Every structure is written in structure tokens, then in C-alpha cells.
Structure 1
């Protein structure tokens, strides 16, 4: 190893660490801005730099939101997320088992046709979905809010199907010899072996449902069905934007997702890894 190469290594390492530190700072800065702004009194926001910490932190903004209709939006979001998660687990499991284990004509073609809908942006289907809900008189209702997602998604079915196909068929064949049917095999054999992927699907569904904004914005119009993401957008008034109140709402939205990530990050990483299974 030459002297020149030895000198280059520390400089490259220093440049790498500097790049990583800058990237980490850029990633953390928006979250710091949310927390800092949410804890500032209204008059202090424009008196100093936006990124400066609050001189006198206050929970007034959070308390004002929790004592308003925003608290109802949090409850609505919890109901929305729970219904979608339970529905996804039930219907996605049934569909994935059919695609993975049942033999019927056109199974693979139907599966790949259904999976191809992942290539279609969600915004393309928003207007047709809204027209369907309007004809069914489901606009501004809980049924219209959850209907497009509660019966499963292509991503969830693909994720579960790939895992089901990795379970040895010998286990299923042994159960058939004992007289077990499809529902018995699914309930007593497949599902106990699929607890990790079920947890992964639940976590992914919770995160995506909690952050869903565009469809709830279009299909709902009253506080009774308004979710938290739409409630944050509704904090804008005709006079202007109350940034401290809006950042307080963002903080209330962010905290549950941070807790989910901290406690269930291995399942989130697993969902990315399992998507590549053959």
C-alpha cells in the first residue's frame, strides 16, 4: 500500500461521514421544525428564526386542538385505521390463499392482471370511485370512506401470496390425509405459520391508512367522518394559516407513527424484503 493511498483513505472517510451527517440533519430538520413550532406561543413564531427553539415552551396549542373538533378527527382516524386493518387481514388472507393454494383455470392470469393495477396511479381511479359512491349514496359516510380499501389491496395480496407459497406443501398434504378442508388448513396450519407476515401486513396497513389523505378529503365533508390528515388541512382559515396550531396537529399525527416505527420497525423492514420473494 503506497503512502498516497494511505493518505486518501482518511479523507474519503471524512467526506463520507460529512455526507452522512448532512443527510441525517436534512432528514431530522423537518421533525425538529414541527416540534419546535408546535411548542411556541403564537406571537413568538415570527419574532425569531423558525428553526430556533422556543424560549418559553407551551402546550397551549396542543390543548386547544384536543379541546376542539380535532379530537373527534383523532377518534375517527383510529376507527378508520382499525376497520381497514381488520378488513385487510381477513380479505387479503382469503384472496392470497386462493391464489397460492387453490387450482382453478386462469388463476395466474387473473392474479397478474390484478397485480398490474399497481401500475395505475391512485389519482386515476379517484373520479370513477367517487362517481360509484355517489350513485350508491355513500358520499360523506363511513361506508364510502372504507369501501375502496377494506377488501384488500394488490400489494397486500401479493405480499401474503408470496409468503403462502413459501410454506411447504407437504404440511398441507398431510392435513388433507387427515380429512382437513381448505378452511381448516387455512385456520389451523397456514395462519399460525404466517404470524410474522400478518403482523407485517397489519403494520403496513396501519401506516398507510393513518397517512391517507386524498380519498378522505374527497369523500367526506363533515366533522363526523373527518380523519386527522384532512383535519390538519382544514386548520387553514380565510384569514391565514395558524402555523403553530397546524404544527401542533402535525405533531399529534406524527407521534403515533413514530411509536409504531420504533416498536415494529423489523416488521416494516420485513415487508420490503418479502416483496422480493419469488
Structure 2
């Protein structure tokens, strides 16, 4: 009886979680007439691909490509610079290391919306508004969360490995690249997944710093689909479906790593 009740609760929770995505798919393949004449949770008969064709004829493919490029660059930058910074905070000894780390980590308590305006003013003074540099630079060189995660993982590795490498004449860079990094694959995978998801879903900063088609990302492109008179829900859901497919694919192929990332971040 308890097992049956547990499965019923889990099924209800799964339905609530999946239902919004189901509505996106169903609405994306409905015509305007089917949207008004059928219930939201029922499919349109026959389904139509006109909405996807319409949205792919505009600037949406360019926004999708921009989002892929932004996500790839930010993920690569996070992995490289976060790893170097975390290794320095975890293993290298220098004056003021701990106060500097905890001061940097304290910035996690500041809401992102608070720093948007100062950050925009800095980018404006540097002439980086509506440029790729302005879009990427604030998040390219690591984040407090990423550095904290990697630092904790580095601190959990056996110190004997590093000491043995030093005896053999290896320097800090060699130790990091040839000994530490191969052992940090779970943490690197965690950081990569978190960065990909957050970069793909980023909206506020791209909306503020960019205004042209050359730097528009998919979240901003979807926001512009809302007209001043009304909303074309069929077109909006078609765009949402295109934006959703890569994230679903990542979850399907990397769900084991995603679960591991949840465990890892929870323990650390």
C-alpha cells in the first residue's frame, strides 16, 4: 500500500513537471484555428509544421547560432580560468589567500540584478555595448560558485600525489595539467553542465547589453516575438520548442552526469 501510494505521488509530480513541456509541443504543431477550437492539452488534427517553418524563415536561426557560440565560449572560458583560479586557492600558498578567497566568495550573496547597472556602465565606458566582448567578458573568467566547487574538489584530492610529483621535479603547472586535471573529470563535468544550462538560459544580461541582430541570443529573440498588439502563441511555442530541444538532448545523453553533479554540489 505504501509503495503504491509512493508511486502515485511520484507520477503526479512527474505529470506536473512534464505538462508545461507537453503544452509547448502541442501548441507548436497547432494552427491558429486549432489553438482556438481545441483544448490546450489535446493535439491538433492534423498537426502542422507551418509554425516551425515561419520562425525558421526569420532571424531565429541566427539567434540560435549566436546562443550556441556564446554557450561554447563561456563554457570553455569557465573550465579554463576557473580551474587555474581554484587550483591557486586550493594548493598554492601566498599571502592573503584565505581572506581573498572568502571575500570573492562573499559576492555570491549579492543578487545578480544589483550588479547589472554598474556592469553595464563599465561596459559602456569601455565601448563594449552591443558587442560580443561585452556579452562574454563579465562571465568568461570564472564565477565564485565555479571556483568554490573546483577548489573544494582540489582540496579533497590526496596531497601525497602532489608531493610525489614535486620530488620528481614537476612544477605547479605540470602538476595541475598532468596529475590533478585527470582526477577532476567529475567536477569538470559538473561545472560544464551547470555553465551550459545557465548560459543557454541567460536572458537579463544579453537583453541589456545587446541590441543588434548580430549578437541577439535565443532568449531575447523569443521575447521579441511578443508583439505590442497581441501574442502569437503558436509562433512563440515553436520558438520555445526549438530552444528546448538542445536542453532535452543534453539531459537525455548526460543524465548520469547531471545526477552526479547534483550529488557532488550537495556534498561539497
| TM-score range normalised by the length of the shorter chain | over 0.9
Shift of residue 88, structure 1, vs aligned partner: 0.3
The answer as to 2:227 corresponding to 1:234 is: no
Q: Which moved more, 1:110-119 or 1:136-145?
A: 110-119
Whole-angstrom distance in 1 between the partners of 2:154 and 2:242: 37
More deviation, 81-90/40-49: 40-49
Contact 1:163-1:274 within 8 A present in 2 as well:
no
- Decide which of 243, 247, 257 is 2:237's aligned counterpart: 247
Distance 2:56 2:189 in 1: 30
1:102 aligns with 2:96: no
Aligned residues: 268
- Structure 1 residue 138: Cα displacement: 0.6
What CA distance in whole angstroms lies between the structure 2 residues aligned with 1:270 and 1:14? 28
Give the corresponding residue for 1:202: 192
In structure 2, the residue matched to 1:3 is none
Partner of 1:6: none
Structure 1 residues 107 and 262, CA gap change in structure 2 (3 angstroms): same
CA RMSD of aligned residues (A): 1.3
Q: TM-score, normalised by structure 2?
A: 0.96
Structure 2's unaligned 5+ residue stretches are none
Matching of residue 259 in structure 1 with residue 249 in structure 2:
yes
CA separation in 2, counterparts of 1:119 and 1:227? Answer: 27
Q: How far 1:126 moved relative to its partner?
A: 0.6
Q: Secondary structure at the match of 1:30?
A: helix
Q: Alpha-carbon deviation of 1:13?
A: 4.8
Which residue in the other structure is 2:258 paired with?
A: 268
Q: Contact 1:159–1:271 (CA<8 Å) still a contact in 2?
A: no
> Which whole-Å CA distance do the structure 1 matches of 2:261 and 2:217 have between them?
26
1:217 Cα deviation after fit: 0.7
CA distance in 1 between counterparts of 2:110 and 2:89 reads 21
| 2:213 match | 223
Match in the other structure for 2:54: 64
**Does the alignment pair 1:46 with 2:27?**
no
Say if 2:125 is the partner of 1:135: yes
Q: Deviations over 1:163-196 (max 9, x none)?
A: 1111111111111111111111111111111122
User: 1:140-219 maps to which residues of 2 (within 5 A)?
Assistant: 140-219=130-209
Q: Could you tell which deviates more after superposition, 258-267 or 131-140?
A: 258-267
Distance 1:171 1:19 in 2: 48
Deviation at 1:53, TM superposition (A): 1.1
- Which consecutive aligned stretches of 4+ in structure 1 deviate over 6 angstroms post-superposition? none
2:70 matches 1:80: yes
Contact 2:38 2:44 in 1 (8 A): no
